[in-house]
Structure 1
Amino acid sequence: MKIALFTFVLTVLSSWAYADDYKVYWRCLDGHLEAMEAHAKLNGEETPLYIHYQSTKQPAWQSTPISLRSLVNLPLNTQNGDFVVLGNKKQWLLNCVGEVHHNPVYHHGNVIFSVTRNAYSCPLIPQECQAKPASQ
């Protein structure tokens, strides 16, 4: 029983030591942040969204799903300013590039997809973040 409890505690602690939660946002044209949805319509069907990132510990790119609370787990060695790519499990959207920002105020960092910079032509930008047509 003690071994099982020790194994469980060690498993929980090792997962906390490996990954940290990051909140995923769109930075809209007017500058406000909009939380990213966990699913989007890609190629005509609803699909879960993933963040693809380069880990310094492994040579291959890794991916992690976006949760319903707009959170992703990224490794603890993720640096401020690292770039990530949005997509589904098998497809990367190379015109949807986000940037990691560590936030000293909150217990988690942010991954921000700016519609005016690296994600300006992303097909998943929500309507709330796009420019309003000018009325004449």
Structure 2
Amino acid sequence: MFSRLLVCAGLLAVVLGAALPADDPIPILSQSSDIQPDGSFQWNYESGDGTKQEQTAVLKQVGNVTVPVLQGSASWTDSEGVAHQVSYVADENGYQPQGSDLPVAPEIPPAIAKALEWIAAHPPPPES
């Protein structure tokens, strides 16, 4: 589970890094990092082009397993001057991103919604 979360965070960093022009180095204006012995951590940075990213993690007991709960955000401006922001939580329920750039599923058509309601109201008889 923790490795999946790290992969997601790494992919986000790669995507943000790929959007940057490779010509001029971009200065880091501020950064901080704090790693605790229990495995919790916090880090953030802001670069000269306005890119910001931050992430925190705390450990949570779920049953008899300890899982990391990550929370973070990233914001940047693309080459066309459009600002983007993504925030996310990654915990025992998986990776849950939020942002206006993320796709949204279409509404369920009324006929299918009605069929689903009927199915829920009329469960199949138990098998004998």
Q: Specify if TM > 0.5.
A: no
Between 1 and 2, higher relative CO (CA 8 Å, sep ≥ 6) is seen in: 1
Tell me which structure has the larger Cα radius of gyration.
2
**Structure with the higher fraction of residues in helix conformation:** 2
